[in-house]
Amino acid sequence: MPSARPVPSALRPVVAAAAALVALALVAAGALVSSLATPAGALSPAVVLTSDFESGLDGWQARGAASVSTTATGARGAGSLLVQDRVDPWDGALIPVTEIFEPGTTYTIGLWLRLPDGAGTADLRVSVQRDLDGQPSYETLTTVEGVSSQWRQVTATYTPGLFDTASLYVESVSSPADVMVDDVLVSGVRYTPDLSLTPVSDAVSVPFGIAVEPQDLLGGRGDLLAHHAEQITPGNQMKPDAIQPTEGTFTFAAADGLVDWAIEHDMRVYGHTLLWHQQTPDWFFQRDGAALTTSAADQALLRERLRTHIEAVADHYRETYGEYGTPGNPIFAFDVVNEVIDESQPDGLRRSEWYRVLGPSYIADAFRYARAAFGPEVLLFINDYNTEYPDKRAPYLRLVTDLLAQGVPVDGVGHQLHVEVGRSIPMVEDTIEAFEALDVTQAVTELDVSAYRDSGESWTQPPADRLLEQGYYYRDMLAMLERHASSFESITIWGLEDSRTWLRSGAAPLLFDGALQAKPAYWGIVDPSRIGATPTPTPSVTATPGVTPTVTPTPSVTPTPSVTPTVTATPSVTPTPADPRACRVAYTTNDWNTGFTAGVRVTNTGTSALSGWTLTFSLDGGQRVTQGWSASWTQSGARVTATNAAWNGSLAPGGSVDIGFNGSHTGSNPRPTSFALGGVPCAVG
Ligand code: XIL
């Protein structure tokens, strides 16, 4: 161990002292907050937990079937924690943090992990269990793939929500291997937002919303949210699995916590979602444990369950907050059906369990049940992703047109807009204009802009120029949306700050960084002239045992009068001029934990026109194409083939075509390294 340790190694006094230090610091911050109008930034982090296992277990205990002991081999010192006798993946080692963690404070957790010699490799996890009102929730802070018998240093950040009791623990994804743990250091810091900034809602003429989780209401996060948004969407708490986990058992507590907060802060609530193919418990589609069939009796049962679910949600919020449309009830809109389009199907409809049992009729039924249950004051929305791509736009438009023609009460069309820097904004505008011809309002329901262009990119923090590019992208997207402001009911961003995005770590798709400071993306919306003057986001605190972490205070921004925006262009690859059949492919992806959306731009860089083309490439990480657009897509093993659609087969020299697909992956998503058009290798980039 380093000789100059900032804290003694015996656990209890350290924890007590460190917790007291944090508590003192937070009290001091409170005093500061009340004496200064707009303090922003972060307090110096305080170490709240340190364990080096050199004089015992330091308070760590076995979790589940495991047993724990100390060994004489440390990561950098003499001892470490050995976890043995694991049977299930969740068996491991834990330390209670009920007295250490505070909801709303951000912690950086550093530790070292390895397996004993000869134990092969395993994917390990650092997790937290929080118990609130008798309900446990399990949160994975980080997954560390391929841990071997070499020590591996791991860092994660975490902001706990409310809890009665909590524990930090080490487990695995699936392997029951023995595990060694050492040099745990946890530091906490409470961030404060700059509340002197112009609220985003003042800069956007359409009502501005943010999708939230309960943690976002606490401390500085809650202040930031209340300052910038005028409505919220529950990120998960109104989905079917949250509201009705088992048939007839309705659990509204988490959702109500968000609605209560919205009322206290004079905000509207956009409900999400009554029907989806994900986050919907299996019982919906089963009778006595067996899958529902398409018999009339099973169809009637599923329709009845749908109606009951929708009525229960509507009745609960009417009974709790008063009639919809009256001042006490903030719910003004609800997503009735989510993601029902699949453009690769002949009828354009997703083959979900809903579709399998009921056929297409469930969509109209859901809207009719919702209108009957909610009444006329709640706007009923259909919602989907990738609606900007022409192949998805067409069936979406067709479905909504058909529903309206049948008198189905669809009031609004939602565009999720989970995009990445560079996705075509004119394409989004084309979709908006197409729906402007119908008798519906529209909403941007889940906007976020990943800083990753594709899955080949990976970083802890995006490079500064990419954050600038993201700022200009937000500027351009919002400017386009403003041109259509009268067509929109609201614009919602899917998350408050980057540390809590649903996208993979490093995507940094939101307006504020994990330290609650405004990014260039914020300035892109509020005052584009300041995009280039925004400092690089506050670095996250690295917990290195033996070194007191420090947080660099965010420098104040001096407004630069005229900053010429420069967006780094994708480096162009010069094709061999003599080749009449040369091509170039740009491949971008937007990833989440198990899936991704890929955009593929194919450019004819040769000298002869193509009439009809076929693109081939390999997905070597086991990824599967689940649906594609603007081409006909097939996959055989790793090999993927895309052949032109009827309308985009002609590709003149210099011309490009944008095609894309959704795919699934199981944890990593390596990008294809080579592409061929008609068998001719293409330049990549
Ligand atoms: C996401 C949530 O943000 C995650 O926390 C959850 O794990 C998965 O779902 N489209 C939707 C949202 O309609 O409900 C999804 O939300 C993001 C994609």
Q: pLDDT tens digits for 72-91? A: 999 988 899 999 999 999 99
CA of 437 to the centre of ligand 1 (A): 29
User: Can you tell me which atom of ligand 1 is nearest the CA of 494?
Assistant: 3
Q: Compute, in angstroms, the gap from residue 496 CA to the centroid of ligand 1.
A: 14
SS3 193: coil
| Distances from the Cα of 578 to the Cα of 604, 607, 677, 685, angstroms | 13, 8, 17, 20
Q: What's residue 147's pLDDT?
A: 97
The answer to whether residue 543 scores a pLDDT higher than 60 is no
| pLDDT tens-digit series, residues 347-376 | 999 999 999 999 999 999 999 999 999 999
Rounded distance, CA 472 to CA 567, Å? 8
Please identify every residue annotated as catalytic.
339, 446
pLDDT band at 564 (very low <50, low <70, confident <90, very high): very low
Q: What percent of the chain clears pLDDT 70, i.e. is strictly above it?
A: 87
Tens digits of per-residue pLDDT, 610-666? 888 889 999 988 898 877 777 887 888 888 989 887 667 888 888 888 788 878 888
| Substitution site in 336, 444, 494 for ligand 1 pocket (most atoms within 8 Å of beta carbon) | 494
pLDDT band at 536 (very low <50, low <70, confident <90, very high): low
Distance CA 259, CA 239 (A): 14
How confident is the model over 102-130, as a mean pLDDT? 94
Q: How confident is the model at residue 542 (pLDDT cuts 50, 70, 90)?
A: very low
Please tell me the least confidently modeled range out of 35-49, 405-419, 556-570, 671-685: 556-570
**Selection from 339, 342, 359, 278 nearest residue 633 by Cα:** 342
382-439 per-position pLDDT tens digit: 999 999 999 999 999 999 999 999 999 999 999 999 999 999 999 999 999 999 999 9
pLDDT exceeds 70 at position 577? no
* Cα separation, 335 vs 325, whole angstroms: 17
The span from the first CA to the last CA of the chain, in angstroms, equals 46
Q: How far is the CA of 260 from the centre of ligand 1 (A)?
A: 22
- Helix, strand and coil content of the chain, in percent to the nearest 5, comes to 25, 30, 45
Mean pLDDT of 332-349: 98
Which amino acid residue places its CA nearest to atom 16 of ligand 1?
235
User: What's residue 44's pLDDT?
Assistant: 62
* Ligand 1 atom, smallest distance to 383 CA: 13
Residues whose CB is less than 8 angstroms from the CB of residue 77 and which lie 6 or more positions away in sequence, other chains included: 1, 52, 54, 182, 183
CA dist 309 to 304, 352, 373, 593, Å? 8, 18, 10, 28
Copy the structure tokens of residue 289.
Answer: 């444990």
Q: How large is the average pLDDT for residues 126-153?
A: 94
Mean pLDDT of the 162-174 span: 96
Confidence of residue 42 (pLDDT cuts 50, 70, 90): low
Nearest to 233 by CA among 446, 479, 421, 470: 446
> What secondary structure letter does DSSP report for 611?
E
Predicted confidence at residue 34, as pLDDT, reads 27
Distance of CA 273 to the CA centre of its chain: 16
CATH superfamily for domain 29-189: Galactose-binding domain-like (2.60.120.260)
Burial of 254 (0-12, 13-18, 19+ CB in 10 A): buried
| Per-residue confidence (pLDDT) for residue 534, from 0 to 100 | 61
Query: Does the pLDDT at position 212 exceed 70?
Result: yes
Ligand 1 centroid–CA 657 distance in Å is 30
pLDDT for the residue 32: 28
Tell me if 146 sits within 8 A of 121, measured CB to CB. Answer: yes
Q: Is 250 helix (H, G, I), strand (E, B) or coil?
A: coil
Tokens of 184: 């745990």
If one residue of 137, 334, 502 were mutated to test the ligand 1 pocket, choosing by the most ligand atoms within 8 A of its CB, it would be: 502
Ramachandran angles phi, psi of 291, nearest 5°:
-60, 140
Report cis status (omega within 30 of 0) of the bond before 273: yes
Q: Where are the alpha helices (DSSP H) in 160-231?
A: 200-203, 219-228
Tell me how far apart the alpha carbons of residues 5 and 1 are, in angstroms, rounded to a whole number. 8
Q: What is the pLDDT of residues 510-519, one digit of tens each?
A: 999 999 999 9
CA of 337 to the centre of ligand 1 (A): 14
**Topology annotation, domain 205-530:** TIM Barrel (3.20.20)
- Please state the domain extents for the chain: 29-189, 205-530, 583-684
pTM to 2 decimals? 0.69
Residues 6+ apart with CB under 8 A from 203: 525, 526, 527
**Per-residue confidence (pLDDT) for residue 629, from 0 to 100:** 74
Q: What is the mean pLDDT of the chain?
A: 86
Atom of ligand 1 nearest to the CA of 339: 13
Helix axes 425-436, 390-405, angle to 10 degrees: 10
The pairing of strands 208-212 and 488-493 is parallel
From atom 7 of ligand 1, which residue's Cα is the shortest distance away? 502
pLDDT reported for residue 68: 98
The pLDDT value recorded for residue 579 is 63
Q: Which residues pair with 186 in a beta bridge?
A: 49, 109
Same fold, 205-530 and 583-684: no
At residue 67, does pLDDT exceed 50? yes
Give me the percent of the chain exceeding a pLDDT of 90. Answer: 68
Query: Which residues form the pocket of ligand 1, taking CB atoms under 6 Å from any ligand atom?
Result: 235-236, 338, 416, 446, 502
Q: Which residue out of 446, 496, 503, 592 has the highest number of ligand 1 atoms within 8 Å of its CB and is therefore the one to mutate?
A: 446
Residue with the smallest CA separation from ligand 1 atom 4 is 502
pLDDT value for 37:
26
**Domain 583-684: which CATH number of 3.20.20.140, 1.10.10.60, 2.60.40.290, 1.20.190.20:** 2.60.40.290
Nearest ligand 1 atom to alpha carbon 272: 14
Using the mean position of ligand 1's atoms as its centre, give its distance from the Cα of residue 269 in Å. Answer: 17
Q: What's the average model confidence in pLDDT over 323-336?
A: 98
Helix ranges restricted to H, 45-109 = none
Angle at the Cα of 412 from the Cα atoms of 411 and 417, rounded to 5 degrees: 170
Do 602 and 585 form a contact (C-beta atoms < 8 A)?
yes
